[in-house]
């Protein structure tokens, strides 16, 4: 009993100097509880309002979207008017012409290929994602150039399987010129994922759609001379070894060659790979060395030349388009 009295006495002693611990009435507890509930309700309503505004102001997602498209650039396609443009662009205008899908059509090589095919009477439809590896304004200018020739470029990603299937549904392509790829050697050191996404996954996405198409199109695609890698034998030959890539870009192109072989072996797809060297000409890529050399020459700057092993001469192959 004395212990209980002692505890009761302690309840009325200061807990800290100058402060007293006071018993809280039930009314105070109820008031505090109701206040907490009110604050919680207000914050919940604000949170719901923010979420509502976010989704309300966001553009609606495409009905044919799926998780695999989370890396794709947004683009609008589909509808009667869109299909009409696709068919018109791909319509064959010569007796023995082809209907060709050109991927990477707004690129340097893709623009020239699309223009040449169109002028000889083939039906040509372009596909490009207009990425910002270099100034997209140049790609838009090429797009305008092709539009004047009657070539429509669909804006979309090579990994967008739904889009690819739709294109083959609208047009029975006889050929595919696959030039869409992530270019550049140094760029791969900082952006490796973009090379796997475009050069490997994108190639597989295209082949998956092509193998199911009726008729199965013949495919010509851009490999690269970089697959020769650390091979020191010159001049290069198609029979030379290509198992020593010197960059991630080269490795993805080598992987593409093995993938092409596999799809030909299993599904009978007709595939022809072209190992391009340095391509130059009108409407060329601004990131290429010859542009830098030209600017330095015009500005009177010195161009450094690197020697090969044992003070050997350095040579580079160029292809004029």
Does residue 235 have a cis peptide bond before it, meaning omega lies within 30 degrees of 0?
A: yes
> CA 216, 218, 223 angle in degrees (round to 5)?
130
Residue 60: both structure tokens together: 């609606």
State the Cα–Cα distance between residues 158 and 202, nearest whole angstrom: 5
Q: What is the DSSP string of 199-221?
A: IIIHHHHHHHHHHHSSSPPEEEE
DSSP secondary structure letters along 224-273: -GGGGTT---SS--TTS-----SSHHHHHHHHHHHHHHHHHHHH---EEE
- Give the other-Cβ count within 10 Å of 161's Cβ: 18
Q: Are 256 and 296 in contact (CB under 8 A)?
A: no
Cβ neighbours of 252 (radius 10 Å): 25
**Residue 163, SS3 per DSSP:** helix
| Residues whose CB falls within 8 Å of the CB of residue 63, separated by 6 or more in sequence, listed in order | none
Contacts of 153 (CB under 8 A, 6+ apart): 105, 106, 125, 126, 127, 128, 143, 146, 147
Nearest to 162 by CA among 198, 196, 194, 205: 205
Is 249 catalytic? The answer is: yes
Per-residue DSSP letter, 69: G
Of 56, 71, 133, 249, which one is the catalytic site residue? 249
Helix (H) or strand (E) holding 126: strand 123-128
Q: Which residues are catalytic?
A: 249
């Amino acid at each position: 009993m004395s212990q209980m009295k002692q505890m009761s006495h302690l309840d009325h002693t200061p807990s800290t100097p100058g402060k007293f611990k006071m018993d809280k009435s039930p009314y105070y507890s109820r008031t505090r509880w109701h206040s907490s509930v009110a604050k919680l309700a207000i914050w919940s309503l604000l949170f719901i309002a923010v979420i509502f505004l976010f989704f309300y102001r966001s553009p609606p997602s495409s009905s044919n979207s799926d998780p695999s498209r989370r890396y794709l650039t947004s683009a609008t396609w589909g509808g009667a008017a869109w299909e009409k443009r696709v068919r018109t662009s791909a319509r064959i205008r010569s007796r023995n012409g082809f209907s060709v899908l050109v991927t990477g059509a707004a690129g340097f090589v893709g623009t020239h290929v699309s223009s040449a095919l169109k002028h000889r009477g083939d039906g040509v439809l372009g596909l490009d994602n207009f990425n910002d590896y270099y100034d997209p304004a140049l790609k838009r200018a090429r797009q305008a150039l092709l539009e004047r020739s009657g070539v429509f470029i669909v804006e979309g990603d090579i990994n967008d399987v739904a889009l690819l299937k739709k294109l083959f549904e609208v047009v029975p392509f006889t050929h595919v010129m696959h030039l869409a790829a992530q270019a550049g050697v140094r760029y791969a050191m900082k952006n490796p994922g973009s090379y796997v996404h475009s050069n490997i996954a994108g190639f597989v996405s295209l082949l998956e759609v092509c193998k199911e198409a009726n008729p199965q199109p013949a495919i010509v695609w851009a490999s690269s001379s970089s697959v020769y890698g650390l091979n020191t034998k010159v001049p290069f030959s198609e029979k030379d070894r290509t198992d020593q890539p010197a960059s991630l870009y080269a490795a993805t192109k080598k992987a593409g060659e093995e993938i092409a072989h596999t799809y030909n072996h299993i599904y009978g797809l007709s595939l022809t790979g072209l190992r391009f060297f340095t391509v130059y000409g009108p409407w060329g890529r601004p990131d290429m060395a010859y542009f830098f050399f030209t600017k330095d020459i015009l500005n009177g700057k010195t161009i450094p030349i690197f020697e090969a092993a044992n003070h050997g001469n350095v040579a580079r192959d160029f292809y004029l388009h």
